[in-house]
Each structure stands twice: as structure tokens, then as C-alpha cells.
Amino acid sequence: MSAAMSADRQPTSEAIRNAVTLRTMTPENLDAVMAIEQTAYSHPWSRGNFQDSLNPLFEAQCLWLGDELMGYFLAMHGFKEMHLLNITVAPARRGQGWAHMMLDALSLISRQQGAQWLWLEVRQSNARALQVYERYGFARISVRKDYYPADRQQREHAVVMSLKL
Ligand SMILES: CC(C)(COP(=O)(O)OP(=O)(O)OC[C@H]1O[C@@H](n2cnc3c(N)ncnc32)[C@H](O)[C@@H]1OP(=O)(O)O)[C@@H](O)C(=O)NCCC(=O)NCCS
């Protein structure tokens, strides 16, 4: 880690790391999820998008420190693969390893359920997420043109990435 990158990071203490819990996302969690979601994206998911995903076709988990929601992820089951649709860390908790921890959890859950690959799409402009995924081991596979809505009626390309589990 470079000195410049570490300057704004608070090391995550072992105590906090041991105190966090990962629990299945429930409808009761959606106020807290939406509060983070709306600050995190130019085009956030709606509450209905989350509600529609709280069923066995999806893997939706929340990362908690006590009653503080640190982050969440939502993935869709496929045949021998899992498709990560949303992974978000609360702004105040970024750069402390929580996305890595959730990717570890998703990898474990996916392997336990017979998946061999993780897939995701990410906005081409989302340099931070691209870096996190590449450092985690995801490879860039292709680009989906005009996949995402963008500002001023524009569209944005998605980078398709995969990870062999
Ligand atoms: C992208 C996003 C999920 C990353 O979450 P994050 O928790 O900040 O990511 P991590 O902390 O796990 O990884 C970031 C860095 O912290 C480092 N890190 C890991 N453990 C650490 C620790 N204990 N202490 C300090 N830093 C640590 C990681 O090495 C990584 O650095 P690197 O990228 O230079 O290798 C987050 O920025 C976010 O929610 N963004 C908005 C939503 C979004 O864009 N989601 C992705 C959509 S595709």
C-alpha cells in the first residue's frame, strides 16, 4: 500500500473485525440499505429492486457492526456461477477492507453452493471498484456497450469481470 493511499485510511482493528456479523438481508433492513444506496450511486437501486431480490434466487447479505450497517451485497444464483449485482460499503467505512471481506464471504457461499465462477459488471468510470475487483483477482473479460444509464440521457459502458472460484 502506498503512503499516499494509506493516509486517509483508518486501520481496521482486530476487535472491530471480530465484532462484525454478516446476516441475510431482510425487508426490515431496507431503510438502512436505502440510506447507503442513495449516497453511493448516481443511479441507485430502488427499494422495489431490493424487495424483489429478497428471495431464494438471490444471495443478499448485510454486514453489521452492532446496529450500524457497514455494507451489503446482492448476487444472483446461476448454473455453477454467481452473478454479483450490487456490493456497497457505507461511505465512512470505505478503504478498511470491508469489500474484500464481503467478497470473501460471497466466494465462500458461492463455492458451498457449487458455483465455479463469480461474474459482475461495473461502470467503466468506476475506477475505485475496478481497482478493488482487480486486486481481488477478477479479470476483465469484455465490455458491454451502453449498458448503464448515465447523466444527460447518455449511456455508459460496463466492464464485465469474472473470478474463477
Ligand atoms: C467499491 C467499494 C465497494 C469498495 O469498498 P471498500 O470497503 O472501500 O473496499 P476495501 O476497503 O475492501 O478495499 C479497498 C482498499 O482497502 C484496502 N484494505 C484492505 N484491508 C484493509 C485494512 N484492514 N485496513 C485498511 N485498508 C485495507 C484494500 O487492500 C484495498 O486497497 P487496494 O484497492 O489499494 O488494494 C466502495 O468504494 C463502494 O461502496 N463504492 C460505492 C458503490 C460502488 O461503486 N460499488 C461497486 C459497484 S460495481
DSSP label at 88? E
> First CA to last CA across the chain, in angstroms?
25
Tell whether the model's pLDDT for residue 7 goes beyond 50. Answer: no
Say if ligand 1 is within 6 A of residue 159 CB. no
Say if ligand 1 is within 6 A of residue 10 CB. no
At residue 9, the pLDDT reads 53
pLDDT band at 4 (very low <50, low <70, confident <90, very high): very low
Say if ligand 1 is within 6 A of residue 128 CB. yes
At residue 10, the pLDDT reads 56
Say if ligand 1 is within 6 A of residue 6 CB. no
What's the rounded mean pLDDT across residues 65-87?
A: 97
What's the rounded mean pLDDT across residues 128-154?
A: 94
At residue 11, the pLDDT reads 52
C-alpha cell, 24: 441475510
Q: How far is it, in rounded angstroms, from Cα 41 to Cα 57?
A: 24
Tell whether the model's pLDDT for residue 1 goes beyond 80. Answer: no
pLDDT band at 152 (very low <50, low <70, confident <90, very high): confident
Amino acid type, 99: A
Tell whether the model's pLDDT for residue 8 goes beyond 70. Answer: no
CATH number at residue 140: 3.40.630.30
111 half-sphere exposure, CB direction, 13 A CA radius: 8
What's the rounded mean pLDDT across residues 137-152?
A: 93
pLDDT band at 155 (very low <50, low <70, confident <90, very high): very high
Helices (H) and strands (E) in the chain, counts: 6, 7
The total number of structural domains in the chain stands at: 1
Q: How far is it, in rounded angstroms, from Cα 30 to Cα 36?
A: 10
Q: How far is it, in rounded angstroms, from Cα 84 to Cα 67?
A: 25
**Residue range 17-60, pLDDT digits in tens:** 889 999 999 999 999 999 999 999 999 999 999 999 999 999 99
Q: How far is it, in rounded angstroms, from Cα 15 to Cα 71?
A: 18
What's the rounded mean pLDDT across residues 124-132?
A: 97
C-alpha cell, 30: 431496507
Q: Which ligand 1 atom is the nearest neighbour of the CA of 89?
A: 39
**Residue range 85-123, pLDDT digits in tens:** 999 999 999 999 999 999 999 999 999 999 999 999 999
Rounded to the nearest whole angstrom, what is the distance from the C-alpha of residue 141 to the centroid of ligand 1?
21
Say if ligand 1 is within 6 A of residue 137 CB. no
Residue nearest to atom 20 of ligand 1 (CA): 97
Q: Which ligand 1 atom is the nearest neighbour of the CA of 71?
A: 39
Give the range of the structural domain holding residue 25, as residue numbers without chain letter: 3-164
Rounded to the nearest whole angstrom, what is the distance from the C-alpha of residue 13 to the centroid of ligand 1?
16
